[in-house]
Amino acid sequence: MNNTEIPNNKPLLSVKNLEKHFVTKKNFFGHPKEYAYSLNGISFDINKGETLGLVGESGCGKTTAGRTIMGIYKPTAGEVYLHGERLDLSKGPEKRIQMIFQDPYACLNPRMTVGEIIGEPLEINHVYDDNKAKLQRVYELLELVGLSREQANRFPHEFSGGQRQRIGIARALSVNPDIIICDEPISALDVSIQAQVVNLMRRLQKELGLTYLFIAHDLAMVKYISDRVAVMYMGAIMELADAEELYRNPLHPYTKSLLAAIPVPDPDIRQDISSIKGEIGTGDMTGCPFAPRCNKASDKCFKEMPAIKNVEGHQIACHSI
Ligand SMILES: Nc1ncnc2c1ncn2[C@@H]1O[C@H](COP(=O)(O)OP(=O)(O)OP(=O)(O)O)[C@@H](O)[C@H]1O
Ligand code: SF4
Ligand SMILES: [Mg+2]
């Protein structure tokens, strides 16, 4: 019922060489002097109905990737295509791409009722002229995420963390987006609530044919929810493969150390990526960003950024493979 049909057989979303550099220091004349190289040319496709997991350590650029794809941040370079059609991200956020945020406490306006919060994207995008029809849609969305229509007049502080994330999901769904970017949607929740929210997201995906980009630290949860997984390191994708395959047979040195850092492969236990040995390099280096920490690094690795290639069905950026 929800999503528009794909008019061609192109991937639903295509990200090509997307870059985002933030100016972090300006000189006396107000010209940029220093940058944070948060996204250094990432590329991937997402097909309709699938979940692509995006994992990597804190600060590697996951949120920047999500926000640049949906037009919250203006890209420094690169393109985003939806159904094969290039998006003009200079115009600001794209309605067909919605986001679920990490912190349900911070992202809901405390002065708005839940009904107003869920209905806001409908209002901004002028989806309904008729208030009655809009309210009906809000009720429908509340029930879809396991809340009741009577709760529309309540305020966010009256809800638990899990319920607030359900409100965030209803809000993201309100405008029938083609894809939802989920930025660590469960990491701020109690462990006991995390599975409920993930299971709700999976049910909605099946029922509505939703497509997700699922950003997370938690490798076990990403494996559970994703069809394919992309591993990011310092603004670049190191490896992308089918979820099962990636966890069973990681090929890239960084993916290997990331998976070796998981103590127990149990989805009930929340696992953060623990420390990997070695210093993290700076973002504007010319070679492989993982070189300062990689035990397979050669001279070439410090001089030349490896291009993405296809190995055993994995997309990989590494000189040694
Ligand atoms: N608005 C900004 N201005 C300057 N630098 C930024 C900005 N947003 C992010 N960065 C920098 O870009 C890098 C990537 O940040 P980002 O928030 O995308 O990482 P992340 O992978 O989402 O991390 P986490 O797992 O902690 O959420 C970091 O070094 C961060 O300091
Ligand atoms: S390119 Fe070189 S430094 Fe980078 S992961 Fe591969 S072997 Fe290690
Ligand atoms: Mg983040």
Q: What percentage of residues in the chain have a pLDDT greater than 90?
A: 70
Check: CB of residue 83 under 8 Å from CB of residue 3.
Answer: no
| Whole-number pLDDT of residue 108 | 87
Q: Write the pLDDT tens digit of every residue in 259-273.
A: 887 654 444 333 334
Categorize the per-residue pLDDT at 24 as very low, low, confident or very high, splitting at 50, 70 and 90.
Answer: confident
- Ligand 2 mean position, distance from CA 318 (Å): 5
| Whole-number pLDDT of residue 1 | 41
Residue 150: inside a domain: no
In short, whether 292's Cβ falls inside 6 Å of ligand 1 is no
Kindly write down the DSSP assignment for every residue of 94-137, as one continuous string: -TTEEEE-S-TTTSS-TTS-HHHHHHHHHHHTT--S-HHHHHHH
Pocket probe for ligand 1: among 22, 55, 218, the residue whose CB has the most ligand atoms within 8 Å is 22
Q: Residue 76 sits in which domain range?
A: 13-96+177-317
Residue 165: inside a domain: no
Of all atoms in ligand 2, which is nearest to the CA of residue 238?
5
In short, whether 64's Cβ falls inside 6 Å of ligand 1 is yes
Q: Write the pLDDT tens digit of every residue in 54-86.
A: 999 999 999 999 999 999 999 999 999 999 999
How large is the average pLDDT for residues 111-130? Answer: 92
Residue nearest to atom 8 of ligand 1 (CA): 64
Residue 279's domain is classified under what CATH number?
A: 3.40.50.300
Residue 56: inside a domain: yes
Residue 297: inside a domain: yes
- Pairwise CA distance, residues 62 & 82, whole Å: 20
Residue 265: inside a domain: yes
Q: 3-state class of 59 per DSSP?
A: coil
Q: Which ligand is nearest to the CA of 65?
A: 1
Q: Write the pLDDT tens digit of every residue in 174-228.
A: 999 999 999 999 988 888 899 999 999 999 999 999 999 999 987 888 999 999 9
Phi-psi region of 165 (alpha: psi -120 to 50; beta: other; left: phi over 0): alpha
Categorize the per-residue pLDDT at 255 as very low, low, confident or very high, splitting at 50, 70 and 90.
Answer: very high
Question: Helix H segments across 51-90?
Answer: 62-69
The count of domains in the chain is 1
Residue 163: inside a domain: no
In short, whether 40's Cβ falls inside 6 Å of ligand 1 is no
| Whole-number pLDDT of residue 188 | 86
- Ligand 1 mean position, distance from CA 182 (Å): 16
| Closest to 267 (Cα-Cα) out of 233, 295, 231, 226 | 226
Residue 44: inside a domain: yes
Query: Residues with beta carbon inside 6 Å of ligand 2?
Result: 253-254, 288, 290-291, 294, 296-297, 301, 306, 318-320
Q: What percentage of residues in the chain have a pLDDT greater than 70?
A: 90
| Whole-number pLDDT of residue 175 | 95
- The pLDDT mean for the chain works out to 88
Residue 128: inside a domain: no
| Whole-number pLDDT of residue 278 | 46
pLDDT above 90 for 90: no
